[in-house]
Structures are given as structure tokens and as C-alpha cells.
Amino acid sequence: MNVKLVKQSGSTLDIVNAARISFGKQIESMNDKDWKLIQYLWTHKHTSPFRHIHFTFHIRAPIFILRQWMKHQVGCSWNEISGRYVEFEHSFYHPQKWRSKPDKSVKQGSGQELDDETQSDCSTIYQNTIDSLFDTYKHLLTIGLCKEQARMILPTSLMSECYWTCSFQALIHFLKQRTDPHAQKEIAEYAWTIVNLLNEDEDMKRLMKICGFNS
């Protein structure tokens, strides 16, 4: 599993209590009226109450995905493994399928899956390139080069590791953008993994549905 939920702080009760403070009121357990309030807040973009819940994830993902992910910063905290300290292991991302260029009318992204033969060619080329690069990385270290310079040749498919803490609002912003059909498939898979992780909790599942995630 490449995404682990380290901790969740708070529940929908905290959203409701943060919102009801506007009226000088607090509650101790959720009822239907409170769920309606959450629905109302979300629909009308009163997002501030959704910033009182936080989630911490331990993520293993390749650099090219983390570069998209870490653009999400408002309401987020990040820590990451450092190639200046650590000698990297032979651990690289493998896409499930290789995709073609998109239609000429589209400037960005990718099209259909490539045919079986090209799939196979891509996989072979990819694997050989990765293996050879990792050998070169190890060789550069052997002849005395420092890690922080040797890592320069490693590809963005290198697996990295992060601690990510984010508010519920920041999380939903990330999930919306990265489960969008225009997002790169590779990061969309991570986003859906997180949606599924949250849905394991009944309270969160109901909240996620309000936010438009039917899983």
C-alpha cells in the first residue's frame, strides 16, 4: 500500500461545532439537522468550518507525481525523504499501462492505451533504462561522488516518501483536482486511493458523499 492514513484529527462534529459558533451554539452528537447544515455549508462554499479537521498521510510516490501533489500547499504541511542524506534504493514507479499521445486537438495529457506490442516495447525500454541508471548512480557513489550530486541523474520515476498533513478543505481541493478527467492517470490513482481510505469510516463516507465523492 502506497498511501497510509497515519492519523485523523476530528470528525464531522468539529465541522458542525466550528460552524455553530457563529450562532453561539455547540452540540455533542450529530443528528439530521447537523448533516443538513454540513450540506448547506458545502453547497454555499462556506468552507472555513472544514479547516478544523486534519489528516496525516504517509505517502510513497514517484517524484513526477509528488511534484504535482506538492503544488498543493495552502493548509498543507510536507516533509520528504532527502537524497542529500539517504542513498536511494532501487525503487521506481511502474505505470500499469502505457498510453498514446492525445488527439491533435488536445494539447495536454494522453490518449488511449498503446497496442500490446508497443506496451511491451515501452516496458522493456523503461526497465532497461531504469536499471542502467541505477547502476550508474551506484557507480558514481563508488568512485567517491557525493549523494547530493549523484542523484542528479536519477529519473523522476524514482520513488520518494512523504509525510503530508492537510486540512479537510485542502484535502478535498486536492482530490477534486486530481480525480478530474484532465488529471494525469498516475496521480488520479493516488487520489482515488485516498478517497477509498476515507470511505472506510462511516462518518467520513457520508461527508465525502456531500462533497461529491460517491466512491
Question: Known catalytic residues?
Answer: 178
Asked if 75 and 45 touch (Cβ cutoff 8 Å), the reply is no
Q: Judged by CB under 8 A, does residue 118 bind a copy of itself?
A: yes
Q: Work out which of 36, 90, 101, 138 binds a copy of itself, going by CB under 8 A.
A: 101
Q: Which of 126, 139, 57 is nearest to 93 (CA)?
A: 126
Q: Which is nearer to a copy of itself, 31 or 108 (CB)?
A: 108
Please report how many Cα atoms fall inside a 13 Å half-sphere around the Cα of residue 10, on the Cβ side: 19
Does the footprint of a copy of itself cover residue 19 (CB under 8 A)? yes
CB atoms within 10 A of CB 48: 13
- 29, 85, 104, 214: which one binds a copy of itself (CB under 8 A): 85
Is 63 near a copy of itself (CB under 8 A)? yes
What string marks each residue from 178 to 197 as x (binds a copy of itself by CB under 8 A) or -?
------x-x-----------
Q: How far apart are CA 137 and CA 142, in angstroms?
A: 9
CA-to-CA separations, 24 to 17, 32, 34, 41, 109, in angstroms, rounded = 9, 20, 15, 17, 49
Secondary structure of residue 15 in the 3-state scheme: helix
Measured from the CB atom, is 26 or 215 closer to a copy of itself?
A: 26
Chosen residue from 151, 179, 188, 198 binding a copy of itself by CB under 8 A: 151
Among 5, 155, 193, 205, binds a copy of itself (CB under 8 A): 155
As measured in angstroms, the least distance from the Cβ of 107 to a copy of itself is 6
Give the one residue of 39, 80, 193, 201 binding a copy of itself; rule: CB under 8 A.
80
User: How far is CA 188 from each of CA 4, 171, 194, rounded to the nearest angstrom?
Assistant: 16, 14, 10
Q: Which of 1, 107, 181, 214 binds a copy of itself (CB under 8 A)?
A: 107
Q: Stretches 13-21, 30-38, 188-196, 197-205: which one binds a copy of itself (CB under 8 A)?
A: 13-21
Q: Segment 158-177, which members bind a copy of itself (CB under 8 A)? A: 161-163, 165, 167
Residue 174 · residue 69 · CB < 8 Å: yes
CA angle 151, 1, 134 (to 5 degrees): 20
To a copy of itself, the closest distance from the beta carbon of 160 in angstroms equals 9
3-state secondary structure of 116: helix
